[in-house]
Amino acid sequence: MKSTTASIFLALLLPAVMATTHTLCYNYFLNKDGCVFSAAASDQRCPAPVKEHSTPVQAFDMTSGSNMHKRSENRRLERRYDTTRPSFAVAGGEGICGFYNSTTDPGVCLWSGPEQNSPTVETAGWLNGAKTSNCGKRV
């Protein structure tokens, strides 16, 4: 009975003792900024940026209509950056995280690191064949 209790206790304690091997991208931002947004560990997580407001927000305060536009007026979104390079579609198929159907599943391309011939957990960008714990995470 004692050995069963001890083995259960050790089995529960073992994952807490094992350190997580982070990706190169995670380590880069941790070294650069001293924190990582959305990090699992609270001591490594960046705090949410404080938003300064010059005046308090009025609840249900209707403006004079200066922000109202007719649908016929051309209102465009602003780009954060300009580029002359065209975007490209990802074909889908079998990848590091398994099969990806680009027609039905939304997704993004993630850097898999500098080592392409013999990737290890330590050389992963955001993920690679040895570091798949970031598969399925939401952006």
Give the E-state strand segments of 1-52 in sequence order: none
List, in order, residues 6 or more apart from 74 with CB less than 8 Å away: none
Token reading at 51: 């938003």
Q: What is the pTM of this model?
A: 0.44
pLDDT in tens, 29-86: 899 999 998 888 899 999 988 878 777 766 665 555 555 555 566 656 555 566 777 7
Cα 40 from Cα 26, distance rounded (Å): 11
Q: Read off the amino acid at residue 13.
A: L
Cα 118 from Cα 115, distance rounded (Å): 6
